[in-house]
Structure formats: structure tokens, C-alpha cells
Amino acid sequence: MADQISPEVLNNVASHPLQTWEWGEFRKAWGNEVVRLPFGQLTLHKIPFLPYKIAAFEKGPAPTKEALNELKKLAKDENLIFIKLEPNHVAPNELTKNKLTKLLRENGCVPGKTLFTPTTFWIDLTKPEEELLKSFNPKTRYNIRLAQKNGVEVVEDNSEKAFEKYIKLTRETVIRQGFYAHSEKYHRLMWKYLHKTQKLKNSKTPIARLLVARYNPPATPERSDGGRGGQIITTWIVFVWKDFLYYPYGASTEKYKNVMANNLIMWEAIRFGKSLGLKTFDLWGREEGKGFTRFKEGYSPKVVEFLGTWDLVINKPLYYAYRVVESIRWIVLRAKSKFVKPSF
């Protein structure tokens, strides 16, 4: 079925990087089964010891009756228990949202456990720089100026050395903050398919790009990293897709946190998106009370809400049994996390 859809057709309908042909190729290399339909792609996941699978349709289009019928047919063909839907769609008003919610429920969908946060932050890149800066929290503006005063420089650097530094800083960040992240292998494969492979195909704008913040410590101004002056102390991988810039991955060192490179790299990412003529910067998630959410709020972004997470249930008895087992699994994992440090 995957061979029936061309890269051009899929990328034409993809409104999010996770729906692109390149992302699908990455997920196949990671070990997932990928199914492509005229309106999007899904990943299929086998359930151990059972002849069943589940599917994830992440960041696809707004649901339609026709698409849901096609998904039900696919589910029967592939012996799926359910398909998790997380549409990349922001309803323009409550009436539209209610109609889409009603459509989902009428077709056997129930609210499911989230993969992505139901809300995110957007920054309007069409506004002038002066207007954007003025809208920021005063403390955020101060930290941007402080980083500039400290001589921090932010550039796009897609070199091998810069990417290796990204891997190193991601490992350092995972250990320092104690959160569970995708593995080193995952990041390397993602970079291969969303940057390297596209560059080999002479793509002018690979989906994945690497921004780095460099800093010269006063005591050792001669030090260099990646062939340019200064040490790389913060790294961000950003995605460029159609009119959007996305910020999915970032890492930094604790050593020079007082020079405020993180604040400057966000501002320079905004300027980077504007330089490419993009319209919106999606900050990739929002969770109340989290430190990264408070950091993002300093840039006065707009809160947007998607349609949420829905499970298109095909086999009800197995679905609810799966939900119970999955709940127990997460309880065990949370308990385990108190004693086992995350690795990268």
C-alpha cells in the first residue's frame, strides 16, 4: 500500500513534519511499519505475543467521514485494535470544533492517552522584529541583551562536528535533568533522514536544521569548537516545513548557564524563521507548570489548541483490556524512574 503513494503526493498534503515522506522513511529505518494513504501516513506497532497491532496517525489533517471510513478499512486489513488520532488541526471556532468532535464520536472514537500536548505555543513571524521584542517579558528581553553583551553568537551550523556536540549536550542534559528522551540512535537516524539525505538530493531547505550558540569564556578566548571561535554551549534542532518553523529538540550545558545563551537562541531562531520567509513558529508543546513552558511564555506566544487525542476503536474488548494494561505499565515505569536514572 505504501508504494501506491508518491513522495510528492504525500508531502503536498502534509501539514506537519511528522507527516512528511522523509519522516516516514526515518520511522521505517527506526523499525516501524509505515502505511501511506492519500491523506496521510500512519505507523503500525505490533503487540508482543499477540496477532494484533495498534496504529498512530500523528499530526494528520482534520478528520472527515471519508478518511475515517478508509482508516476503518485499513484497521480490518491490518488486524488493528485501534488507531490513535492526533490531528494537526486548530479549529477556527467552537462550532467547527464541536462538529468535528461529534464526527469523531459518531465514528467510534473515544478520548485517548495523549502523545503530544493538546495545546502549543505559536509565534507570529510576520510581525516586525521591534514589535516582537517589545511584546516579550522584560526579564526575557534583559536576558537576550545580556547574552549579546557576553558575546554569545548564534548561527546555523549543520556540520558533523556541530551535530556531535548536539549529541554530547543532549546526553548531558538528559543526565542533568533526569528526564527520559529518545536515544542517541533515534537522534542520529532522524538527522540522517531529515537533513543528510535531503542534502544529498540537493534539497534547498532540509527539514532538520541545527542552530548553535557559541561562547568564548573570558579566560580562554582562543578555544574553538566546530572550526569556529567559541565553544558550543547550546544546540537546537529546528524543523522547517512549508510556512512553519518548529522547535522539537534542544540541549545545553550547565557550565555557562549565566550567560543566557538559551534566551538568545530562541530570539535568533525567531529571526532565522523570519529570514526564511516563514509565517509561524511552533514551539512544540505546552504543559502547565513546567519549566520549559515558563521559558517559552517569556516570548509572549499565542496559545493554540488542537482537536486533542482520539482513539478510533475497532475491537472494543481488546481496546479496553489494552488501556488497563497500559495504565499498569505506566505506573510501573513511573515507579522505576525513581530508582533508575535515564540514559541516552
Is the domain 126-278 a CATH 3.40.630.30 member?
A: yes
91: helix, strand or coil: coil
Cβ-based neighbour number of residue 268 at 10 Å:
23
- Are 126 and 279 spatial neighbours (Cβ–Cβ below 8 Å)? yes
Query: Does the predicted TM-score (pTM) go above 0.85?
Result: yes
pLDDT tens, 203-255? Answer: 668 999 999 999 998 765 444 444 446 899 999 999 999 999 999 999 999 99
Cell output for 288: 502547565
- CATH class as words, domain 2-117+306-337: alpha beta
Res. 1: pLDDT tops 50: no
Q: According to the model, what pLDDT value does residue 227 have?
A: 42
Burial of 312 (0-12, 13-18, 19+ CB in 10 A): buried
Give the rounded percent of residues in the chain with a pLDDT score beyond 70. Answer: 91
Give the pLDDT score at 203. Answer: 64
34-75 pLDDT tens trace: 999 999 999 999 999 999 999 999 999 999 999 999 999 999
In which residue are the cell numbers 490513535 written? 84
Q: How far is CA 17 from the centre of its chain?
A: 8
DSSP state of 259: G
- pLDDT at position 120, please? 96
Taking the C-alpha atoms of residue 298 and residue 270, their distance in angstroms, rounded to an integer, is 13
All residues at 6 or more sequence positions from 255 whose CB lies less than 8 Å from its CB, including other chains: 233
Position 248, amino acid: P
The yes-or-no verdict on residue 22 having pLDDT over 50 is: yes
Query: What is the per-residue pLDDT for 61?
Result: 97
Give me the pLDDT at residue 4, please.
Answer: 80
Mean pLDDT confidence for 25-39: 97
Closest CA to 263 of 133, 132, 141: 141
Cα gap 89→325, rounded to integer Å:
30
Report pLDDT digits (tens) over 165-212: 999 999 999 888 776 678 999 999 999 999 988 776 666 689 999 999
**Does residue 2 carry a pLDDT above 50?**
no
Angle CA 109–115–118, to nearest 5: 75
Of 78, 156, 65, the closest CA to residue 107 belongs to 65
Checking DSSP bridges between strand 53-58 and strand 302-305, what pairing results, if any?
unpaired
Cβ-contact 208, 237 below 8 angstroms: yes
Helix (H, G, I), strand (E, B) or coil at 38: coil
Structural domain boundaries of the chain?
A: 2-117+306-337, 126-278
Q: pLDDT-derived band of residue 329, with 50, 70 and 90 as boundaries?
A: confident
Domains 2-117+306-337 and 126-278 share a fold: yes
- Tell me whether residue 167 is exposed, middle or buried, using C-beta atoms within 10 angstroms of its C-beta: 0 to 12, 13 to 18, 19 or more: middle
pLDDT category of residue 107 using cuts at 50, 70 and 90? very high
